[in-house]
Chains A and B, each alone.
Chain A
Amino acid sequence: MENLGGDEALVLVAAAAVAAVSTGRHLVNLLRVATRLRNRAARVSLAVLPLAAIAVLHLALTHVAAAEVRTAPIYQTLFEVVGVAWLAGAWALMPLTGLSPRDDVLETENPSAAIAVGGAWLGSFACYFAANIGEGPTIWTTLGPAALATALWFAIAVLHELASGAAEAVAIDRDLASGCRLGGLLAALGIVLGAGAAGDWVSAADTLGSAEHAAIVAAILAAASALVHRLSRPAPACARRSVAAAGVVPGTLYVASAITWAALGQCR
């Protein structure tokens, strides 16, 4: 702790408190809420996802983060604890996107919602994850871009829902194809916006420019997804679309497009 500055120690303590409470609450929810429901696979996936996310974050912190982080376990701990708090915040705010992890996944037998919520959780976390990549002089040059990318992620996800009603198809129609598409899109948005937050810190203006660039790409992706949803959403004549053709394929395409864009170095 003595290696940390005052603000860094404060962030660590606050994040640790949030992480401890939210982790305990999450475990209680997984183990006790509506356990008679036949949705064990969804519960297991919601237990495994955050563990996997933090494990991958650890790899990033030890290999591609700033040199000071790579060589100082206390900084790795700091960013991992903040990562847990980030996951908790995304969980709490997810109902803004039309998806409620508790109502639609834990208290319901709805595999479609489990997939969409999983994609949303990974997407929102990707914004934080990617901001840890690259050099920066203070923790705020990581947390600031991460917060900006996450806020943009929520804004675009909300606009996408207002334009498409995709979350309604997931939560009300329980349409598995819609769940795969929406999960893929929300993960893809995180990859694009995260790419905008990744890289070495240059300046605030550069960060804003990079975020704006990523937000435009994310908005185009969301608009395309809304159009696809309009064409393939559930209808009385066909309440259940082909999961592979109308769900897995477009969802995978969204993610693949996002990865390709990020890999081509369109970030700062």
Chain B
Amino acid sequence: MIDDEIYDAWAPRDSWWSPWVKPVLFAHLRQFAEPAPAEDAPEVDFSWVHSGECVAIVVDLPGALGVWYGLALAARGFRPVPLYNAIPAPAGEAARVDVWPIVGALRACAPRLQSFVLPPSAPPAFLLDSNRRGGVASLAQFDNRSISFPTDFPSGNLLRSRGFERALLVQRDVGQPEADLRQTLWRWQAAGVVSSVVAAEGGGSQVTLAVSKPRWTSLALWRLGALLGLPRGALGGFGGRLGGAVG
């Protein structure tokens, strides 16, 4: 598949959710020279979700695992929506967050994703890298930590108008969502979308989330505060060397 076909597989023109797909990693597909990873869809008990169920899923798992999880959800009627927003480090450089495996997984999963016949209205499964805000604290000169914004997701109003009154957060553990994600889930909650959390490999028991109002609820204030210290990439997304952005 050529790069445009891979992007179209993840963001088909007719899908309700394609306008939310982040194109950042797709701009680096050509640079991913390694063979497709041997990893495959995780062996997970998906009994907690029914095929085509009217629930918006947010997969917040580390690295490429989220992509493979998204592919497994696509087989169950969900439309995976990649929201990865960190750019990979240039060749030979160490990065705070290694996103090359995600690039590889996006490429490797595209043919199988394209083979699924999903309707435009297929419920969404938003894919995030749970390492996005931290990564490996090292001497890496390339800082590509990132955050997700409420603007990265459809609004609670839109979800409810399309019949989605439930959201399901898939994490490593059943705990509180990441601080940046809380901004989104709180807004969804305010609009009447109830969120639950489920552990990715925990047997499927769901815990309802009561998201408390974040300290900074104004979008402008939250953005300004959150963006301080995070380098932006010249091609979009987050990432740059100390002292200058890198495309």
Interface residues of A (CB under 8 A from B): 28, 32-38, 95-98, 100, 102-104, 106-110, 158, 161-162, 167-168, 171-174, 234-240
With A and B bound together, what is the CA distance between A161 and B27 in angstroms?
34
Contact indicator A161/B236 (Cβ below 8 Å): no
Does B206 count as interface, using CB distance less than 8 angstroms?
no
B224 contacts the other chain (Cβ, under 8 Å)? yes
Within 8 A of A (CB), among B1-48: 4, 7, 13, 18-19, 22-24, 26-27
Say whether B155 faces chain A, with CB atoms less than 8 Å apart: yes
Mark the stretch among B88-96, B130-138, B194-202, B215-223 that contacts chain A: B215-223
Q: Which of B19, B151, B153, B187 contacts A103 (CB 8 A)?
A: B151
CB proximity of A232 to chain B, nearest CB, Å: 13
Q: Which B residues are closer than 8 A to A by beta carbons?
A: 4, 7, 13, 18-19, 22-24, 26-27, 149-151, 153-158, 160-162, 187, 191-192, 218-220, 223-224, 232, 234-237, 247
Q: What separation, in Å, do the CA atoms of A239 and B193 have in the docked complex?
A: 14
Given the complex of chains A and B, what is the CA–CA distance between A165 and B218 in angstroms? 8
* Complex contact B220–A32 (CB within 8 A): no
A161 nearest in chain B by CB position: B220
- Shortest Cβ distance from B30 into chain A, in angstroms? 12
Question: Can you name the residue of chain B whose Cβ is closest to the Cβ of A99?
Answer: B220
Contacts of A34 in B (CB 8 A): 23-24, 27, 235-237
The 11 sampled A-B contact pairs (Cβ below 8 Å) are A34-B236, A37-B23, A96-B224, A102-B232, A103-B151, A109-B19, A162-B218, A167-B220, A171-B219, A174-B158, A234-B155
Asked whether, in the complex, the Cβ of B158 is within 8 Å of the Cβ of A98, the reply is no
Complex CA–CA separation, A109 to B218 (angstroms): 22
Min CB distance, A117 to chain B, in Å? 13
A34–B234 Cα gap in the complex (Å)? 9
B155–A174 contact, CB under 8 A? yes
The 10 closest A-B pairs by CB, nearest first: A239-B161, A236-B160, A34-B236, A109-B19, A36-B23, A98-B220, A173-B155, A33-B236, A239-B157, A234-B157
Interface centre among B4, B26, B158, B187 (most CB of A within 10 A): B158
Cβ contact within 8 Å between A171 and B151: yes
Determine the chain A residues whose CB is within 8 A of the CB of B237 once the complex forms: 34, 107
Closest chain-B Cβ to A36's Cβ sits at a distance in Å of 4
- The answer to whether A97 touches B220, judged by C-beta atoms less than 8 angstroms apart, is yes
Contacts of A174 in B (CB 8 A): 19, 154-155, 158
For residue B218, which residues in chain A have a CB less than 8 angstroms away from its CB? 98, 161-162
- Asked if B157 and A173 make an inter-chain contact with CB atoms under 8 angstroms apart, the answer reads yes
| Distance in Å: Cβ of A160 to nearest Cβ of chain B | 12
Q: Is the CB of B19 within 8 A of A98?
A: no
Please name all residues of chain B whose beta carbon is closer than 8 Å to the beta carbon of A171 when the two chains form the complex.
150-151, 219
- Distance A213 CA – B219 CA, assembled complex (angstroms): 30
The answer on a CB contact under 8 Å between A172 and B220 is: no
Question: Shortest CB–CB separation between residue A206 and chain B, in angstroms?
Answer: 34
A160 to B157, CA, bound (A): 21
Taking a contact as CB atoms under 8 Å apart, the answer to whether B151 and A172 are in contact is yes
Q: Is the CB of A240 within 8 A of B161?
A: yes
Q: Which residue of A lies closest to B151 (CB)?
A: A171
Pair B234/A103 contact, Cβ less than 8 Å = no
The reply to whether B151 and A32 form a contact with Cβ atoms under 8 Å apart is no
Given contacts A97-B220, A98-B219, are A108 and B151 in contact (CB under 8 A)? yes
Q: Is the CB of B219 within 8 A of A168?
A: yes
CA of A237 to CA of B162, assembled, Å: 10
Q: How far is the CB of B74 from chain A (nearest CB, A)?
A: 20
Instruction: Return the chain A residue nearest B187 by Cβ.
Output: A172
Out of B23, B24, B219, B235, which one reaches A167, CB within 8 Å? B219
Given A36-B4, A236-B191, 16 extra CB contacts under 8 A: A32-B234, A34-B23, A37-B23, A38-B19, A97-B220, A98-B218, A103-B149, A107-B236, A161-B218, A172-B150, A174-B19, A235-B157, A236-B157, A236-B161, A237-B161, A239-B160
Write the chain B residue with the least CB distance to A110: B19
Instruction: Report A-chain residues with C-beta under 8 Å of the C-beta of B247.
Output: 32
User: A158 CB to closest chain B CB, in angstroms?
Assistant: 8
In the assembled complex, how far is the CB of residue A14 from the closest CB belonging to chain B, in whole angstroms?
22
A63 to B27, CA, bound (A): 47
Could you tell me if A172 and B219 are in contact, using CB atoms closer than 8 angstroms?
A: yes
Residue in A37, A97, A103, A236 whose beta carbon sits within 8 Å of that of B156 in the complex: A236
Give chain A nearest CB distance to B223 CB in angstroms: 6
Complex Cα distance A95/B224, Å? Answer: 8
